[in-house]
Amino acid sequence: MKHGVWLLVGAAMTLAASSAGAQKPAEARGPDAAGPAVFSSSSSLSAKGQAMSAIRYPVTRRQDLVEEKFGVAVADPWRWLENDVRTDKEVEAWVEAQNAATARYLATLPGRDILKERMRALYSYDRYSVPRKAGSRYFYAHNSGLQNQSPLYVRDGLHGKERLLVDPNGFARDGATALAEWEPAPDGRHLVYAVQDGGSDWRTLHVLDVDSGRMLADRIRWVKFSGLSWDKDGRGFFYSRFPEPEEGAAFQSLNRDSRIWYHRLGTDQSADELVYATPRHPGWNHAAEVTDDGQWLVITSSEGTDPRYEITVIALGEDKRKPRTLVRGMDNEWRFVGSIGSQMWFLTDKGAPRARLVKLDAARPGRKPVEIVAERADTLAGASMIGSRIVLAYMRNAQSEAELIELDGKRAGDVPLPGLGTAAGFGGKAGDPETFFHFSGFTTPGTIYRFDTSTRALEVFAQPKLPFNPDDYVEEQLFYASKDGTKVPMFIVRKKALAMGRVAAPTLLYGYGGFNIALTPGFSPTRLAWLEQGGVLAIANLRGGGEFGKEWHEAGRRANKQNVFDDFIAAGEYLIDNGYTGKDQLAIEGRSNGGLLVGAVTNQRPDLFAAALPAVGVMDMLRFDQFTAGRYWVDDYGYPDREEDFHILRAYSPYHNIRDGVDYPAILVTTADTDDRVVPGHSFKYAAALQAAKIGGKPHLIRIETRAGHGSGKPTDKVIDEFADSYAFIARWTGLAIRPIGPGKRD
């Protein structure tokens, strides 16, 4: 089964709704300290008239480490903090000491417990994943509200009784072991699923007999960044993995030598068949998908994060599985949509920056693609073959639109979306007209819809009951001018009373701006808790993202990266100049690449922001490619070992550009000890540099989650803990007064 058109993808999916929180650590001190160091200002501090004592930070050992690169002396005094916290006792002690100092401060924040309880209430609603159909069965995840992980269920028939298949809440006592990817066999008799421990990107695969619920003995280890795709008969599945890392290096080693394997049910992993590898290109990554008719294996190869792929096909019915290169060279995006026999439909940006739909013949590689749907003004974000038609998902100004076409490209009508927001899903297969999609908005929790592509009939599959009134809020989209005059879209959400009274209020500005990822409307209980208190939420669709196709992405990557920071700074200035917020009322937040964004703009315009939340950020732009998945990011950032790129990266790297003698906003850095995507050393070094610099009297703290990763798989209670802490922190420094909101009250 194709998983379909997902308009919310990648790192932007984390946002505020799917990130982790922390358990409160025990008191500890740094390894070199006879006592904690005094924070740079010894006088009492104040914010919005509330006094507080000077913060005392733990001592961080400083190395005398300076390296010359391309004629530039680069100091790296806290490089030892790159070491793995699981194996380095000094780093472990530093983490404990920092967490203890942060916990002491957070415990003083007014409204923190109120936010936490309200977030729990707002999370307490039924959440469903988009169902996947296999045979006559329907598989989906369903969280009753406050479960740490979402259990997997199955129905026999659309209206059959819900039956529990896998409950990940029993995997670990702390709730930090998650059910990750899963895929039913075509006949629905077996299910392969991945287990993710502590938020790591590493996976272990298991297989379940769906009839009995019995787990088979099959185990596949050291899987990462892999799709799961069954053969036609359900006798086995294809997956990709890296070689087993050296002992002790699992969380920091570079990911190289991806290979496609086939596992036959009932056999040991050692007997798995190697299907495809590129030993001459160990940096390439490979993902495999079996066509709906089982005739072909489609292998998509990539080298970095840019959507530039080489496509290889293997005829599965032949005695010898000989790879054939269908699209050679990683120059463009080629996203498999579906097939009929050897005819294959692809979404591509070749000759079309906002993408088009084309057809290729797998039996005749090398022929020019046949255009089915030409490029349009709106961005073609995805396509999926369902039944005898194709669903096209377009993005217009960062919002979803969808339509149906025949296989030859002739228009068959619109997909009746329920309003303005984000549609995600549309999985299915050729020959079966049934599909499902998830629809949500900023104040609209996700509803699952069932859609028939032959009749265009739409019905609700699952819809949550709301503990708040969406009508109390107003959403608007506007365009503002960036530094160079480029018009950038921004969503703004706030209470109607604020909008009607034109009242300036504490505002949270969120951004990402990278990797061709679009920020589209989506529901977050943690953000709603901020809005309920009278805060404003702003989402800026910065260059570098995927909102307007390839050109928008190109305008915010590599040598153009400063455009992203200029766009974000201009968004903050617009919010202040136009009365949405006041000068001392603006907080900023970003995660992953967005954490880099927050760190960079805080260095460039510390006067503009009252508070900052850089989360799981890429903070050392001169060494990001030395760890785990960091080597992929050169597509967006450039190569630190190339002189031209080095000077660009050095100019905005958050770790290297903290400015002594300038007052900085209050900063709460957040990361996790098992993040093997953006290793926590980025945030550790950045926080150490902040605390050592003379940047004013506001707090500059770090909150380090234990047994949590980059974003996926984090338990609900950790999400709530982190965002209660984070939003109480920015409320304190933007002047947002937190007040109780009763259970079930529609405020």
pLDDT digits (tens, 9 = 90+) for 103-124: 999 999 999 999 999 999 999 9
- Residue-wise DSSP of 68-93: EETTEEEE-TTGGGGS-TTT-HHHHH
Residue 253 CB coordination number (10 Å): 15
682, 710, 712, 726: which one is catalytic?
710
Are both 184 and 202 inside the same structural domain? yes
Are both 370 and 388 inside the same structural domain? no
In 3D, which of 24, 77, 249 has the Cα closest to residue 684? 77
The encoded tokens of residue 561 equal 């990266």
Gyration radius of the chain over CA positions: 25
CB burial readout 578-595, b (16+ within 10 A) else e: eebbbebbbbbbbbbbbb
Is 335 in contact with 382 (CB distance < 8 Å)?
Answer: yes
- 511, amino acid identity: G
Total number of domains constituting the chain: 4
Are both 611 and 492 inside the same structural domain? yes
Report the distance separating Cα 490 and Cα 510, nearest Å: 10
Q: Residue 317's pLDDT is what?
A: 83
- 183, amino acid identity: E
Angle between helices 112-123 and 716-734 (to 10 degrees): 140
Domain boundary among 260, 289, 318: 289
Which residues, including other chains, have CB under 8 Å from residue 225's CB and lie 6 or more apart?
201, 240, 255, 258, 285, 287, 629
Asked if the structure places residue 747 within a domain, the reply is: no
Asked if the structure places residue 6 within a domain, the reply is: no
Is 112 in contact with 705 (CB distance < 8 Å)?
Answer: no
> Does residue 310 sit in helix, strand or coil?
strand
Is 210 in contact with 188 (CB distance < 8 Å)?
Answer: yes
CA atoms within 13 A on the CB side of 195: 19
Domain boundary among 464, 479, 494: 464
Asked if the structure places residue 8 within a domain, the reply is: no
Are both 315 and 393 inside the same structural domain? no
Are both 567 and 604 inside the same structural domain? yes
Are both 313 and 259 inside the same structural domain? no
Active site residue 710: yes
Domain boundary among 375, 400, 435: 375
Asked if the structure places residue 4 within a domain, the reply is: no
Asked if the structure places residue 221 within a domain, the reply is: yes
Q: Residue 132's pLDDT is what?
A: 97
Asked if the structure places residue 279 within a domain, the reply is: yes
Place of tokens 């394997």: 261
Asked if the structure places residue 746 within a domain, the reply is: no
* Domain region containing 352: 291-375
Is 99 in contact with 711 (CB distance < 8 Å)?
Answer: no
Report the distance separating Cα 285 and Cα 258, nearest Å: 5
Q: Residue 706's pLDDT is what?
A: 86
Alpha helices in 44-178 (DSSP H): 89-106, 112-123
Asked if the structure places residue 114 within a domain, the reply is: yes
Are both 530 and 662 inside the same structural domain? yes
- 55, amino acid identity: I
Report the distance separating Cα 166 and Cα 148, nearest Å: 14
Q: Residue 2's pLDDT is what?
A: 59
User: To which H or E segment does residue 526 belong?
Assistant: helix 525-532
CATH of the domain at 508: 3.40.50.1820
Q: Residue 4's pLDDT is what?
A: 54
Are both 625 and 691 inside the same structural domain? yes
Are both 280 and 302 inside the same structural domain? no
8 class by beta-carbon count within 10 Å (0-12 exposed, 13-18 middle, 19+ buried): buried
Q: What is the pTM of this model?
A: 0.89
Report the distance separating Cα 747 and Cα 739, nearest Å: 11
CA angle 697, 701, 703 (to 5 degrees): 165
Residue 392 CB coordination number (10 Å): 28
Are both 113 and 137 inside the same structural domain? no
592, 653, 712, 726: which one is catalytic?
592
Which residues does the chain have with pLDDT short of 50? 5-53, 744-747
User: To which H or E segment does residue 720 belong?
Assistant: helix 716-734
Are both 96 and 173 inside the same structural domain? no
61 class by beta-carbon count within 10 Å (0-12 exposed, 13-18 middle, 19+ buried): middle
β-pairing, 507-510 vs 586-591, is parallel
Q: Residue 182's pLDDT is what?
A: 97
Report the distance separating Cα 369 and Cα 364, nearest Å: 11
CATH of the domain at 231: 2.130.10.120
Q: Residue 260's pLDDT is what?
A: 97
The encoded tokens of residue 306 equal 């840019």
Active site residue 19: no
Are both 352 and 384 inside the same structural domain? no
The encoded tokens of residue 134 equal 């296999």
